């Protein structure tokens, strides 16, 4: 068994370290135990394992102490090594618009005006004939995807049109609002970077 100590490390570091160890495993596979200190890391490791078709077990040892065990069976690593690495669902490298929103207002000057502008901006995104491939939220931008936000209807409209909504897991954990996320999926920074890397154009707000 391989043990990776990621205590004190924020995502996407635990996910990246685990991916690297998986790539080093022999064809028959193996078992990797990852030590982390937050639930967001556990969820992100679980999503990574699920994408790869691997077994993942999470055990809470104590407060802020978790053990995530990823089991790689015979042939799985070899099969993945032979297959091209996929970009996030519905994303094809070089195609599509990705919008990255890092604040809950738009521009500098008046915060009240900035909040009006960001509401109008997201509404306008929902009116585009071809909607964005993805809208990514991090830092205070995550507030726009929470319960009660005046941007929820437009974001849900975008989601229904096929736009993928991703909310930074480290950010909602930092602000302690994870249970208030009302649209999209919680993602780690590595996922966010993959969306940006796979886009034809990125708009940063």
Q: What is the structure's pLDDT at 92?
A: 45
Which residue is it, tokens 């960001």?
A: 118
Question: Residues in the chain with pLDDT < 70?
Answer: 74-95
Q: Is residue 119 within 8 Å of 141, Cβ to Cβ?
A: no
DSSP-derived 3-state class of residue 67: strand
Residue 111, H or E segment: helix 111-127
Global pTM exceeds 0.85: no
Residues contacting residue 109 through CB under 8 Å, at least 6 positions apart: none
Q: What is the structure's pLDDT at 137?
A: 97
User: pLDDT tens-digit profile of 63-87?
Assistant: 989 999 999 985 454 344 444 444 4
- What are the structural domains, with CATH classification, of the chain? 2-82 (3.30.110.40), 97-204 (3.40.1260.10)
Helices 111-127 & 152-160 angle (0-180, nearest 10): 20
Q: What is the structure's pLDDT at 94?
A: 36
Tell which residue, 2, 193, 174, 183, has the closest CA to residue 98.
Answer: 193
Tell which residue, 17, 93, 83, has the closest CA to residue 52.
Answer: 83
**Distance from first CA to last CA of the chain, Å, rounded?**
44
User: pLDDT tens-digit profile of 124-156?
Assistant: 899 888 899 999 999 999 999 999 999 999 999
Cα–Cα dist 88/119, whole Å: 27
DSSP 8-class letter at 35: E
Q: What is the structure's pLDDT at 74?
A: 57
List Cα–Cα distances, 104 to 10, 81, 107, 193, in angstroms.
23, 41, 10, 20
């Amino acid at each position: 068994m391989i043990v990776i100590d990621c205590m004190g490390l924020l995502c996407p570091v635990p996910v990246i370290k685990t991916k690297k160890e998986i790539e080093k495993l022999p064809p028959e596979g193996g078992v990797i135990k990852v030590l982390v200190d937050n639930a967001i890391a556990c969820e992100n490791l679980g999503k990574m394992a699920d994408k790869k078709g691997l077994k993942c077990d999470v055990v809470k040892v104590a407060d802020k102490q978790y053990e995530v065990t990823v089991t790689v069976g015979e042939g799985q690593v070899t099969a993945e090594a032979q297959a091209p690495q996929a970009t996030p669902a519905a994303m094809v490298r070089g195609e599509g618009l990705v919008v990255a929103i890092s604040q809950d207002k738009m521009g500098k000057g008046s915060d009240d005006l900035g909040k009006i502008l960001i509401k109008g901006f997201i509404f306008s995104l929902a009116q585009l004939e071809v909607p964005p491939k993805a809208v990514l939220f991090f830092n205070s931008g995550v507030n726009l995807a929470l319960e009660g936000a005046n941007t929820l209807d437009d974001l849900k409209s975008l989601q229904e049109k096929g736009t993928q909504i991703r909310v930074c897991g480290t950010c909602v954990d930092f602000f302690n609002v994870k249970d208030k996320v009302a649209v999209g999926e919680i993602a780690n920074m590595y996922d966010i970077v993959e969306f940006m890397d796979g886009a034809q154009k990125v708009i940063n707000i």
